Structures are given as structure tokens and as C-alpha cells.
Amino acid sequence: MVNTDSLISVVAILFILSLVTEKIANFIKLNFKALSQNENLGSKEEKLREKRLDIVTFLSGFLVAFVCKANFFTLFNGEEMKNYSFTWESFDEITVHAVLGCIITGAFLSGGSKFFHDLLNMLMYAKQAKKGFAKNKEALVEILEKTGDISYDDAIRIGEGRDDDPDVSL
């Protein structure tokens, strides 16, 4: 199971890699006339240009993922992430499984940095909300116990949202 801090770290890494992917794709787009936007293109030519851009962006994402060894399957495995190296140690590490993981990561990276930025913001918000909830729960349990209306165990049970005993409620 991946904890929130590990997930935030992985998403932050993917956010940075997606920024690199965007820069590479943008550089290619600006330096190749076939990919540059042209107002004289018809709708068919424009669709073809957009498909080419999608391919360039995907290939850029795959290249970044492969060079950085950003294997999707390994990134989200909490145990393997503890000692993870973003470099290929030997050619023996380049397996079908690893390349497939880099292809999947490349597909996500080609989607753009906005996705990872928004995901990172949601994870940070969830982490802060969880901390705030824990503080509020502790305060509630303390207040309920001090009033003497219910026992400490019942206060904990209510704070956790369990409803084992219908006679004790807020």
C-alpha cells in the first residue's frame, strides 16, 4: 500500500517529467514546419498536423520516461520506491515489463503537466484535511470524555465514526 507522502513524491516527480516532456515537444513543434500552426491549412491538413503533434508528444513522453527509468509499475510500488534509482544500471534491467511501464508513463506524461499539477494539489489538500480531521477528532474525544457523559472508549468509537452501540450517540 502506498502512503500519501509516497504518492505525493511520485506525482511531484511525474509533474516535473511532464514539464520536461512539454518543453521537448514544444521545441520540436517550433523547429519543424510540418508541425507549426499555419492559418492556410484546411481542416484535413490541420487534423493531420494535430495527429503528428500527438505522436511527437507521446514519443517525447516515452523518451523522457525511458531515459529517467520512470517505470509506471515500479513508481507506484511502495516497497520498490524506497531504493529506486532513476538510471538504468545495466542492459539486463531493460525488460519488456520495464519498457511497457515506460510506455504507460510516457502516455501519462504526454497528457501534460496540468493533470499532475491538479493531482498534486488535490493530494496536498487531502493530506492537510486529514491532519485537520485528526486534530478535530482528538479535541472532540477530549471534550466528550471531560464532560463525563460518555466513556473514553465510547468517545473514541464516535470519533472514528463507528456506531456499535445504538444507546450512545451525540
Radius of gyration of the chain (CA): 25
Beta-carbon contacts of residue 21 (< 8 Å; ≥ 6 apart): 57, 60, 61, 64, 106, 109, 110
Parse the chain into domains and list their residue ranges: 1-111, 114-163
pLDDT digits (tens, 9 = 90+) for 73-85: 888 776 656 666 7
Q: What is the pLDDT of residues 128-141, one digit of tens each?
A: 877 766 666 666 66
**pLDDT string in tens for the chain (170-residue length):** 557 777 888 888 899 999 999 999 999 988 887 777 666 767 888 888 888 889 999 999 999 999 998 888 888 776 656 666 777 788 888 889 889 999 999 999 998 888 888 888 888 888 887 776 666 666 666 666 666 666 666 666 666 666 555 554 44
- Please tell me whether the overall predicted TM-score, pTM, comes out greater than 0.85 for this model: no
